[in-house]
Amino acid sequence: MSTGKYILPLMLLLLCMTLFSCEDEINYNGNPKPRIKFVSMSSDQVREFIDSLTVRISYEDGDGDLGSFDADTLDIAVRDGRLNKSDFYHLPPLAAKGANVMIKGEFDLKLKNLFLLGSGKSETTILEIKIRDRAKNWSNTISTPSIEITKT
């Protein structure tokens, strides 16, 4: 029986397996810049000063340095679309201290006390969110769908 006819298909199979197994390494492993995506939000309507809003965010980080062990460090920037400046929040560590590994998952960001800026009965806004890792790399910016804030 001749084994020569099996060598070429076997080599092609090994080449394909190598290319596909390296894809994750090329795209994710070691990438120091975190990436985030909007997943969901608890509601698209809130009553000012009463309702909180929870935004679920998925994340990926190639070196696992998202979040701070120091509760005074504020690494989540949230900008209300009606304002020029962001508010900042603490992000607890999402991997063990000293870990240099690819991490991904989801976390909930709970926001309190959205309020009206004008004197009307309601306003609509969006929130722009980004996170910073311990090496000071900012993620991409995500936006929520429209949120209606109503007077209480």
User: Mean pLDDT, to the nearest integer, of 66-93?
Assistant: 95
Q: What is the pLDDT of residue 100?
A: 85
Q: Do 109 and 54 meet the contact criterion of CB atoms below 8 Å apart?
A: yes
State how far the Cα of 72 lies from the Cα of 89, in Å rounded to an integer: 9
Confidence tier at 27 by pLDDT (50, 70, 90): very low
Q: Residue 37's closest CA among 136, 132, 126, 106?
A: 106
25: left (phi over 0), alpha (psi -120 to 50) or beta: alpha
- Whether 28 has a pLDDT exceeding 80, the answer reads no
- The model's pLDDT over 33-70, given as tens digits with 9 standing for 90+, comes to 999 999 999 999 999 999 999 999 999 999 899 999 99
pLDDT above 70 covers what percent of the chain?
A: 80
pLDDT above 90 covers what percent of the chain?
A: 70
Q: What is the pLDDT of residue 97?
A: 82
Confidence tier at 98 by pLDDT (50, 70, 90): confident
Beta bridge mates, 36: 59
- Whether 8 has a pLDDT exceeding 50, the answer reads yes
Instruction: Supply the DSSP symbol for 81.
Output: T
Q: What is the pLDDT of residue 2?
A: 56
Mean per-residue pLDDT of the chain: 85
